[in-house]
Amino acid sequence: MTAKGTRPINPEERKRGEIALSEFAEYAEKQQAHRSVAVAPSDSGYSTGAASTSRDVEDHAELEILDQLGLSDTPRTIKLKELLLGTGEATEASLQDLAGAIQNRIDEGHGETVFDLGLEDGGETMGFDLPHWETALQRLREAAETIPAHCRILLTYNVGGPKESTVKNDRIKGAWGKVLIRQDWSNVEEMGELRIAVVGNVDAGKSTMLGVLVKGGLDDGRGRARVNLFRHKHEIESGRTSSVGMEIMGFDSRGDVVSHAQGRKLSWEEIGKRAAKVITFSDLAGHEKYLRTTVFGMLSSSPNYCLLMVAANNGMIGMSREHLGLALALNVPVMVIVTKIDICPPQVLQETLNQITKILKSPGARKIPIFVKDMEETINTATQFVSQRICPVFQVSNVTGENLELVRTFLNILPHRGHYNQDGPFEFLINDTFSVPHVGTVVSGVVKSGVIHAGDQVVVGPDSLGQFTTTTVKTIERKRIQVNACFAGQSGSFALKRVRRKEVRKGMVVLMKSETTPKVYREFVAEASLNHRNPTVLILSHATTIKPKYQAMLHVGAVSQTCSVIDIDRPFIRTGDRALVAFRFIQRPEFLALGDKVLFREGKTKGLGIVKSVGYDPNHPLDPRAESSQSTEGDTN
């Protein structure tokens, strides 16, 4: 239900909305981090509240002086330089110590780390000459082999050779370099995975870019590289993506791209078996009429990063800004790739780069654009990309192949990101369903928390009546490879026993079977203050006011359903306002969890929120004035 008499938003209101969006996205990220903390399950197997770990792990600055006095009984720590050169008393023992230090860094990086060989942990130089550096590199490789892991030289300084940096670093003396160390996983269950959502305006070159990256060849300028990525006949005919396409790109433990073998392209199964790290791309639609599909793809796939494509000859037009705003609202780190630089005049390209800079530096985005032009900037930016303030910008051509190697290297060393609770109760979001011959009903999605094994009894739901169906997980697949288990943060597919495909849908959840039936809710509240008990809503942009009875499309994870506003903590809300809002699902109840991000939209209206409590009591309205008026009426009667 839209309000009449809409008026255009003036620049001041738009700026206020952008600033509010940026601040609220950071707040939402902190709330989700609280949800990821391990929580002791209740008798029913589900979390009862956030664990208060901050009190137990307090910093006591007054105790630091005891550490400085050296009164501890722990053995003397060996310097990293001694471990690398093997100058200690026992060479074999020091090699084991070095392997232990490498293993710790690999565990912190979820299976990989970029090692600064020749630099101390604090960044000071070790003063290596060339023979010392070669000795340290050999020791590093020997220690890594015992894990097992492999080393790949990314960049060197004052060493020489093909990986030598073209930019001299006078600040740090001596020979040093950056080495990628990646663990060689023995099974697919432990394989590293990153999910990247690919967005941008129509004709920005999203599918073509993925076709070139994944398949290995260059484009012919007419879209040949994208044909294999399309899922429907009308997509091939129009050249425009209308669904959520999925593609994977694999890197082995030595850092090489896994795509071809003996002159033929590899299947998903072959890539998964050979790769130590897999990047899953969600190719989302760029056309405005498919915005609902794009929003669903962004929320349901739980992306670690967002890849925004911008055509050099068009700039950030149409849905590009919409998609950027969506990524910012979800607090997903953004990287930008400017495509088609081979057909773009230099002055037009510069105008596009200036426009990108202006938008990224705006109050709503508050990003620092870094225009990556060489390998050194690529490696430094990728290792520092855990900071969401920076935004790397690449300029590539899918026809000539210019700067494509920089993008591949960037993706190769891109760090893991995300907070997942493997010790929590199992929760799996369904974002697609299939009916496979001789297998039955298969559901795919992302494991939000916990772990599942083949053969486990689970419940799937809710249906239109809010009921759950008990079933068994027959088999589990990751990247089309059968595995025995699937852990929090991983995407996978489950074959379910005795469940027909029409009984499952996108937006359902799979939970571990317990004595207590999971609760579902038709109503919930969305809040902005940590002191309140309910969820938070921030209005990003709206041409007029929002009042109760307003209806919009609401997205919570894989859930996509029309909802109605039934109560607000004030008479109305406008652009940039933060308020308590109570929602009611129109069609059916849904399974919601505390801390879930809520995005609702209707036309050009967009709102962002966080679920902090479920259910709604009409006897206790959110607006205190309404509650006082009810009590006054009661006293009168």
**Confidence at residue 552, expressed as pLDDT on a 0 to 100 scale:** 87
**Average of pLDDT values for 405-413?**
94
Kindly state the average pLDDT of the residues 508-530: 82
The band of 68, judged by pLDDT with boundaries at 50, 70 and 90, is very low
Q: What value does the mean pLDDT take over residues 98-126? A: 90
Would the CA dihedral through 182, 488, 186, 246 be positive or negative?
Answer: negative
Cis amide linkage into residue 148, ω under 30° from 0? yes
Question: Would the pTM count as exceeding 0.95?
Answer: no
Would you say residue 357 has pLDDT above 70? yes
pLDDT-based confidence at residue 542 (cuts at 50, 70, 90): low
Burial of 32 from C-beta contacts in 10 A (0-12 / 13-18 / 19+): middle
Residue 4: pLDDT above 90? no
Q: Give residue 413's pLDDT.
A: 94
Among 338, 335, 372, 368, which Cα is nearest to 353's? 338
Other residues' Cβ atoms within 10 Å of the Cβ of residue 513:
16
Task: Tell me how far apart the alpha carbons of residues 38 and 59 are, in angstroms, rounded to a whole number.
Answer: 20
Residue 3 pLDDT > 50, yes or no? no
Cα distance between residue 582 and residue 110, in whole Å: 39
Closest among 20, 5, 7 to 543, alpha carbons compared? 7
Phi first, then psi, for residue 472 (nearest 5°) are -125, 140
Strand (E) or helix (H) holding 496: strand 491-496
Q: Which of 108-112, 202-206, 238-242, 294-298 has the highest mean pLDDT?
A: 108-112
Mean pLDDT within 520-542: 57
- Name the more confident of 230 and 621: 621
Upper half-sphere CA count for residue 624 (Cβ side, 13 Å): 1
CB atoms within 10 A of CB 587: 10
On the CB side of 266, how many CA atoms lie within 13 Å of its CA? 23
Mean pLDDT, the chain, rounded, equals 80
Residue (of 442, 379, 385, 437) closest to 409 by Cα position:
379
Binned at pLDDT 50, 70 and 90, residue 42 comes out as very low
The confidence band for 471, taking pLDDT boundaries of 50, 70 and 90, is very high
Mean pLDDT is lowest, of 149-153, 176-180, 267-271, 352-356, for 267-271
Confidence of residue 8 (pLDDT cuts 50, 70, 90): low
Nearest to 491 by CA among 470, 509, 476, 508: 476
Q: Which domains does the chain have, with CATH numbers?
A: 80-183 (no CATH), 188-412 (3.40.50.300), 427-512 (2.40.30.10), 520-624 (2.40.30.10)
Beta bridge partners of 605: 602
Distance of CA 586 to the CA centre of its chain: 30
Cα distances (Å, whole numbers) of residue 16 to 5, 22, 545, 574, 610: 22, 10, 15, 11, 20
- pLDDT-based confidence at 228, cuts 50/70/90? low
Q: How far apart are CA 505 and CA 407, in angstroms?
A: 36
Whether 330 and 628 have beta carbons less than 8 Å apart is answered as no
Which range has highest mean pLDDT (268-277, 344-353, 360-369)?
A: 344-353
Mean pLDDT of the 287-293 span: 76
| Residue 15 confidence (pLDDT) above 90 | no
Q: What are phi and psi of 277, to 5 degrees?
A: -145, 130
Higher pLDDT: 606 or 453? It is 453
| pLDDT tens, residue by residue, 162-192 | 999 887 777 778 899 999 999 998 778 888 8
